[in-house]
Amino acid sequence: MALTSHGNIFRKVVVLSFCLAAAAGQDSELREALTRHQAGDVAGAIPLYEKYLKQFPNSLDAIANYGAALSHEGRYGDAIVQYEKALRIQPANPRIRINLGLALYKGGRFAEAAVIFEKVLPEVASIPDAGHQVTLLLASCDLNLGKNREAIAILQPLESNAQDDKGLAYLLGMAMIRDGQTDAGARMIDRILRGGDSAEAHLMLGEAKLNALDYTSAKEEFEKAAAMNPSLPEAYSMLGQSLVGLNQADAAGAAFRKAAELDPNNFTAVFQMAILARQDNRLEEARTLLARSLSLRPGDAAVRYQIAVVYLAAGRTEESRRELEKIVAEAPDFSEAHVTLASAYYKLKRKEDGDREREVVRKLAAEAQAKQSKRNK
């Protein structure tokens, strides 16, 4: 859920992609590159930066602005290389560190971006625009990584002083809804709706319906969001989830593909496409998509579980067993992982271990039923 993908609800974060001003006495070629860059001719500035850097490879101004130009053109990997080079020259420069974080963020490397933003935030917190934008970016990284409570903790202290900030309201509301705080999330929806109907409000309403397993109503909300903003990746990835709930796999696959076309870093779309590929026994495609999913959410137990399932389906039972054992050690209540681990043990002729896992599954099911009965009283 990249912050920049939500149309006009967010103030543009590209203001953080700093272009250093040309200094008097600089080489005319660098001044020309900077002039073109600042005038919006970014593509024309890039070859001038490259030519200048062949002569002066350690020019901080040239390196930093070349990185900003590359990032502007969507060449995030190349931009990251330049920002890292600039930081070797001036390690404490907050502008370059923010630009590095932004390039990592736009390139879908949310965990790495979060580390950068978290470290630089105290240094820019007193700068109204930069401090606020870095805070939103850090929260968005956490939301992309499935760390809903961390995002809430970052944003909630700002809520009372940012009543008209729809970007903050969206991120905070979505994090609350995904954390099960539906009533609190509804307050954020109301805040967004004060300015009129919006695609983002329908996304949040749909997410709440999805959490309540009301797939039909969720589908209607996501369709409204997509109609209002056809370039919104989350409208399609969430629509796909509702269609999965309605057992409409083909339509769900089309929605996920649309989301991935709009945003290749949309975790939900990539991960759900992997699951659909695995269910259709397209194991090589599933492996590729799961590798991408894991790069977007490093260490994610759900992704690692699907990888283990693919291993098992491909006959790589021992690899599946090793991964599943790690998962259940880290997440002992992950019932599906215990079920699949039992299957792996039985395939490996380890009946005693398989029986033990089946007993774990039975106990987890009994505990879940007891909790549900208590909630229903």
- CA 314, CA 60: separation in Å to the nearest integer? 51
Give pLDDT, residue 341: 97
**Number of residues that this document lists for the chain:** 377
Residue 93, phi-psi category: left (phi > 0), alpha (psi -120 to 50), beta (remainder):
beta
User: How much is the average pLDDT of 342-357?
Assistant: 96
Give pLDDT, residue 19: 52
Cβ contact 58:89 at 8 Å: yes
Give pLDDT, residue 16: 45
297 falls in which pLDDT band (50, 70, 90)? Answer: very high
Mean pLDDT of the chain: 89
* Dihedral of the alpha carbons of 188, 189, 191, 195, in degrees to the nearest 10: 150
> What does DSSP assign to residue 327?
H
Which of residues 313 and 162 earns the better pLDDT score? 313
pLDDT tens column, 55-81: 999 999 899 999 999 999 989 999 999
pLDDT tens column, 120-153: 999 988 777 788 889 999 999 999 999 999 999 9
Give pLDDT, residue 3: 47
pLDDT tens column, 77-127: 999 999 999 999 999 899 899 999 999 999 999 999 999 999 999 998 877
- CA 34, CA 41: separation in Å to the nearest integer? 10
Going by C-alpha positions, the residue among 115, 117, 85, 111 that lies closest to residue 16 is 117
The Cα-based distances of 231 to 4, 5, 189, 228, 319 in angstroms read 11, 8, 21, 9, 40
pLDDT tens column, 173-194: 999 999 999 889 888 888 888 8
User: How big, in percent rounded to 5, are the helix, strand and coil portions of the chain?
Assistant: 80, 0, 20
Cβ contact 152:172 at 8 Å: yes
- CA 255, CA 270: separation in Å to the nearest integer? 11
- CA 320, CA 305: separation in Å to the nearest integer? 9
Q: Give the global pTM.
A: 0.79
Domains and CATH numbers, the chain: 1-121 (1.25.40.10), 299-377 (1.25.40.10)
